[in-house]
A and B are shown apart, each in its own frame.
Chain A
Amino acid sequence: MLKTTASKFDPAAGVAAAARWQDYVLLLKPRVMSLVIFTALTGLVCANVPLNPVLAATSILCIAVGAGASGALNMWYDADIDAKMSRTRGRPVPSGRVQGADALALGVTLSLFAVGLLGVAVNVLAAGLLAFTIFFYAVVYTMWLKRSTPQNIVIGGLAGALPPAVGWAAASGTAPLNAWLMVAIIFFWTPPHFWALSLTTGDDYERAGVPMLPVAKGEPATRLQILIYSLILVPLALAPAFTGLGGVVYLAIAALGGAAFVTLAGRLFLTKQRGDAKRLFGFSIVYLFALFAALLVEHLAGLKPLALLPHGLLG
């Protein structure tokens, strides 16, 4: 465990400063965790299956802890990259407050607890999907894609998109098309969201040698890709109103929010202003939150979904 004989980080000696318990909480990326909790809860509620409140709470807890564990594994593996970027150099491992080995141990232990408990208490499908999510984020994205391809966050985004399907599976033991529709919305939302952020973070990724799209292909190509993904995302986000998942409120939010999203992406493409990238990044968070909040509220309130397509088509 931690050596407690020095107050300053000394990489040569491998000695860390005293870690407070809050540093271990930071390893779990609480802000990412809160989005995971929200989308997983939406998936769980949208399954429309009565579930014991204790088991429902356990499911959300396991999904949140699993997401946190993959965050700790990411921080262990990426400490060298994080140390070079101004946005991340204050994280517990690169700043020397927590040793890398401790972050790894925390990530592995919490992963095992989260997947194991979800499998024993809820069901095996949900546990399997959670294990796949952790594996995809920690191994496929962090260890492989992030350092090797500009498409890193496109493919790696699947890990962040899966929680609604895990939540749905936890409630019902199945993962039907509507659950995967929620996954697809987050999946196609991630690239424009993240690339808009990376357009505003300057040369951070270049310094760290991470081939993010603006670094590898340049800013004009990134703005074009943002626009293309936005044009795929917005119609896709309307789809739940056709498949028996979203209602009138959802349709209105998806239509108005989608129009604003495409407008902001188009403006960024035309003006090439960093301020427009910031605006799109900020709005993308509000947009995704509003879509899932609409689904959550409609299902909690028992509002009827629209199902503009005939039933049976989607199983």
Chain B
Amino acid sequence: MSDPKHESEAFRKARNGRNIALLIGLLAFVALVFVITIAKLGANVASNGF
């Protein structure tokens, strides 16, 4: 049988890794939506001649 202490450490590490990856993914999505908004706003402002 494997050592339960060692096992839980491995799981904890894997879960932390997944959580950090998810955090980075969500932050990147927020940043992307922000940048897209600015890009589209800029294009609309330019085409309206303001």
Q: Which residue of B lies closest to A5 (CB)?
A: B11
- Cβ A19 vs Cβ B14 within 8 A: yes
- Cβ B2 vs Cβ A54 within 8 A: no
What chain B residues lie within 8 Å of A113 (beta carbons)? 29
- Cβ B36 vs Cβ A21 within 8 A: no
- Cβ A54 vs Cβ B18 within 8 A: no
Report A98 CB to chain B, min CB distance, Å.
10
Assess whether B35 is interfacial by the CB under 8 Å rule: yes
Interface centre among B2, B15, B33 (most CB of A within 10 A): B15
- Cβ A20 vs Cβ B17 within 8 A: yes
**Chain A: how many interface residues by the 8 Å CB criterion?**
16
Q: In the complex the two chains form, what is the Cα distance from A58 to B28 in whole Å?
A: 12
What chain A residues lie within 8 Å of B43 (beta carbons)? 52
Assess whether A24 is interfacial by the CB under 8 Å rule: yes
Q: In the complex the two chains form, what is the Cα distance from A54 to B7 in whole Å?
A: 44
Q: A4-B11, A4-B15, A58-B32 are in contact. Are A52 and B21 (CB under 8 A)?
A: no
- Cβ A18 vs Cβ B36 within 8 A: no
Q: In the complex the two chains form, what is the Cα distance from A8 to B39 in whole Å?
A: 48
Report B27 CB to chain A, min CB distance, Å.
14
Q: A7-B2, A18-B14 are in contact. Are A24 and B39 (CB under 8 A)?
A: no
Q: Out of A7, A21, A58, A117, which one reaches B10, CB within 8 Å?
A: A7
Q: In the complex the two chains form, what is the Cα distance from A35 to B2 in whole Å?
A: 41
What chain B residues lie within 8 Å of A54 (beta carbons)? 35-36, 38-39
Q: Which residue of A lies closest to B6 (CB)?
A: A7
Q: A7-B7, A52-B43 are in contact. Are A20 and B18 (CB under 8 A)?
A: yes
Assess whether B5 is interfacial by the CB under 8 Å rule: no
Q: A18-B10, A18-B11, A52-B43 are in contact. Are A24 and B18 (CB under 8 A)?
A: yes
Q: In the complex the two chains form, what is the Cα distance from A121 to B35 in whole Å?
A: 11
Q: In the complex the two chains form, what is the Cα distance from A56 to B28 in whole Å?
A: 17
Q: In the complex the two chains form, what is the Cα distance from A55 to B37 in whole Å?
A: 10
Q: Out of B17, B33, B36, which one reaches A55, CB within 8 Å?
A: B36
Q: Which residue of B lies closest to A62 (CB)?
A: B32
What chain B residues lie within 8 Å of A24 (beta carbons)? 18, 21
Q: In the complex the two chains form, what is the Cα distance from A110 to B20 in whole Å?
A: 18
What chain A residues lie within 8 Å of B35 (beta carbons)? 54
Question: Can you identify 12 A-B contacts, CB atoms within 8 angstroms?
Answer: A2-B15, A4-B15, A7-B2, A18-B10, A19-B18, A21-B17, A21-B18, A24-B18, A52-B39, A54-B35, A117-B32, A121-B40
Binding site for A on B (CB under 8 A): 2, 7-8, 10-11, 14-15, 17-18, 20-21, 29, 32-33, 35-36, 38-40, 42-43
Apart from A52-B42, A54-B36, 13 more pairs, CB < 8 Å: A4-B8, A4-B15, A19-B14, A20-B18, A21-B18, A54-B38, A55-B36, A58-B32, A58-B36, A117-B32, A117-B33, A117-B36, A121-B36
